[in-house]
Structure 1
Amino acid sequence: MATDAAGVALWSWNVDTDAISMDERAHGLWGVPSGPVTFTDLSANIHPEDLDRVRAAFASTRDVLGAYEVEFRILCGKELRWVSARGRGDDQGIVGRVMFGVFLDVTERKMTEEAREMIAGEMGHRVKNLFSIASALTMISERSTRTSKEMSQDLRLRLSALNRAHDLVRPVPGDPKRAAHLGDLLAMLLAPYAGDGLGGDRVHFTVPELLIGDASATALALVVHELATNSIKYGALSTATGTLDVTCLVDVQDAVITWRERGGPEVIPPKGNGGYGSRLVSGAVSGQLGGSIDVEWPSEGVIIVLRTSKARLAT
């Protein structure tokens, strides 16, 4: 009753035969049928990236002085779980040739830790981006004005627009938002970068009357904000002549938003899986918007296509 209440799974290990006996909770945790198993049997469920580490830890447990703990991932079908294996080394508590220990399901704690690390990483990433954006907006204002007073006023307007866009990305808890039109949302998010006085507006968008719900507006704002940041740092908006076109096509079920840059530096496709910003965008599109994102890298300007359902955008 005590182990059930604590969520503790029990195991014993025969050091001569390598047989491992587990209670019902442990079998359920590992997703293996009842009956004796060996470490080799359990290895089939250990995450491949953790297997060598766990194998080495298992082999050295009897040499450990005092208590030990090994945390690792296991796969039960498509479900990933975190397990903490705990016991005592140096043959402490051995009965006959059998050692004893426990398994704990620490999935919830590990997920919380990962979420906390992601939030900290996201905060650091955005702070760096804001410094880069502020510097770039200063240069845009310098190009588009003639006096220091005009520059000051222009920069204040752009930073004010950036602040409003940032509020959409990180909404205030308890401050309910109403559904917004896609065009109004894009106008607010892209206002800091539109127009520098050298031949008209640099940012154009052609979109239908499409309502964006509270939850989707936050996710979409995060994506647009990140793409605009990348553009002003590396893409079309980093130059005086670069332009950005955002269009949206809808049918009965789907909405396809296309982000097309022109006139910036020659595009060089990145190597590898991209940085934190790329993972942030991909996570928002697939997780919160339930859609997909495709990127093309023509030399004249990047093209990004976001596909999702109209019903999902309305939530």
Structure 2
Amino acid sequence: MLGDVLGTLLIHGDREEPEKRTAPAVWDANRLRIATEAAGVALWSWNVDTDAIYMDERAHGLWGVPLGPVTFEDLSAHIHPEDLDRVRAAFASTREVLGAYEIDFRILHGKEVRWVSARGRGDDQGIVGRLMFGVFLDVTERKMAEEAREMIAGEMGHRVKNLFTIASALTVISERSTSTTKEMSKDLRLRLAALDRAHDLVRPVLGDPKRAAQLGDLLAVLLAPYAGGGLDGERVRIDVPELLVGEASATTLALVVHELATNSIKYGSLSTATGTLDVSCVGDDHGAAVTWRERGGPEVSPPNGHAGFGSRLMTNAVAGQLGGTIVFEWLSEGVTVVLRTSRARLGG
């Protein structure tokens, strides 16, 4: 039905004299179907009097609803709850819209979330009888690419802010642990050089073979800039077994360690002269658990509200790249963080 109507519109919509045509009228219903299938376009029509919505097979497959007429209420059961009110308001106002409109929203197809773009024309433009026409496009890949770009941009901005925070905090630590400007300058240069070495250690180099590092060596290099006089015995203590960390996992682990260290020098145990940090690891042939334990800093209170970008970044990185989990325990004497991952993923 829908293909026939649209095919008729495209064939007879041009009322120019035959001699003025620049191309033959080849767009019958069958050829229209070939074009829409090639473009991944799903078709719909809406009866403005009965509210019945007729869709082609592609649209039914996209929405995951049985063949046959449906209503907006039938489709709304498949719209993501966070988008439903926005889509409902847009649907109610489509006939008042001047010209073309489009709205992007998420739908739930079983356990899968898809992004759909609904497009049509308002102000009763193109109405045939009492039917309005439009299309659905599956824009999931485009939306995922946009979200990935936004995540990368957000991560870059977040890391730049962290670098300024780290530089400022290292300056304070150096000032606290030295007595002259010359000593402070030297100490700060050493700390910044250690930070640079940590970056080089985990930065992938094109053309190099896959590298692996001992977990203890990696943590020592990553945490050296924040130690108040040395590792293993003073402010920062590391006690981990021999465990290889692959290049890809090392990058993720470095991101998490830098985020935790940044938070610590801003709010936690490394923000005071007497605070300490203990990093340990236990594991077997199957899994490993790295524990980050802060003590001696300001009294800790659990964060209020939604998790910040840094927390989401760590959670996503650990889950996505290490296939593990990261859990925070907000004890008054200091935060404890436990990162769990499979041994195979850590060494991959």
Q: Provide the TM-score with structure 2 as the length reference.
A: 0.87
Among residues 200, 221, 238, which one is paired with 1:188 in the alignment?
A: 221
| CA deviation profile, 1:9-35 (whole Å, cap 9, x unmatched) | 111111111111111111111111222
Among residues 73, 77, 85, which one is paired with 1:40 in the alignment?
A: 73
3-state DSSP of counterpart to 1:297 = strand
Change (3 A) 1:173 1:233: farther
Determine the structure 2 residue equivalent to 1:292. Answer: 325
3-state DSSP of counterpart to 2:117 = strand
Among residues 245, 250, 255, which one is paired with 2:278 in the alignment?
A: 245
Determine the structure 1 residue equivalent to 2:104. Answer: 71
Aligned partners of 1:300, 1:44: CA distance in 2, in Å? 48
Aligned partners of 1:279, 1:175: CA distance in 2, in Å? 31
Write out aligned runs for 1:96-135 (5 A).
96-135=129-168
Write out aligned runs for 1:121-270 (5 A).
121-167=154-200, 171=204, 177-196=210-229, 201-270=234-303
Q: Which runs of 4+ in 1 moved over 4 A?
A: 167-177
Residue 301 (str. 1) matches residue 334 (str. 2): yes
Residue 311 (str. 1) matches residue 307 (str. 2): no
| CA deviation profile, 1:262-308 (whole Å, cap 9, x unmatched) | 11111111112221111111111111111111111111111111111
Aligned partners of 1:76, 1:310: CA distance in 2, in Å? 35
Aligned partners of 1:264, 1:165: CA distance in 2, in Å? 25
**AA matched with 1:217:** A
Determine the structure 2 residue equivalent to 1:7. Answer: 40
Runs of 5+ unmatched residues, structure 2: 1-33
Query: How far apart are residue 196 of structure 1 and its match?
Result: 3.6
Aligned partners of 2:152, 2:146: CA distance in 1, in Å? 10
CA RMSD of aligned residues (A): 1.7
Q: Provide the TM-score with structure 1 as the length reference.
A: 0.95
Aligned partners of 1:61, 1:168: CA distance in 2, in Å? 56
**AA matched with 1:281:** M
**AA matched with 1:116:** R
Change (3 A) 1:176 1:154: farther
8 Å CA contact retained: 2:204, 2:247: no
Determine the structure 2 residue equivalent to 1:57. Answer: 90
Determine the structure 1 residue equivalent to 2:28. Answer: none
Determine the structure 1 residue equivalent to 2:314. Answer: 281
Aligned partners of 1:86, 1:168: CA distance in 2, in Å? 50
| CA deviation profile, 1:70-120 (whole Å, cap 9, x unmatched) | 111111111111111000111111111111100011111111111111111
Aligned partners of 2:63, 2:104: CA distance in 1, in Å? 14
3-state DSSP of counterpart to 2:98 = coil
8 Å CA contact retained: 1:196, 1:240: no
Aligned partners of 2:311, 2:75: CA distance in 1, in Å? 36
Change (3 A) 1:159 1:106: same
Aligned partners of 2:337, 2:140: CA distance in 1, in Å? 35
Aligned partners of 1:80, 1:225: CA distance in 2, in Å? 33
3-state DSSP of counterpart to 1:158 = helix
Query: How far apart are residue 143 of structure 1 and its match?
Result: 1.8
Determine the structure 1 residue equivalent to 2:124. Answer: 91
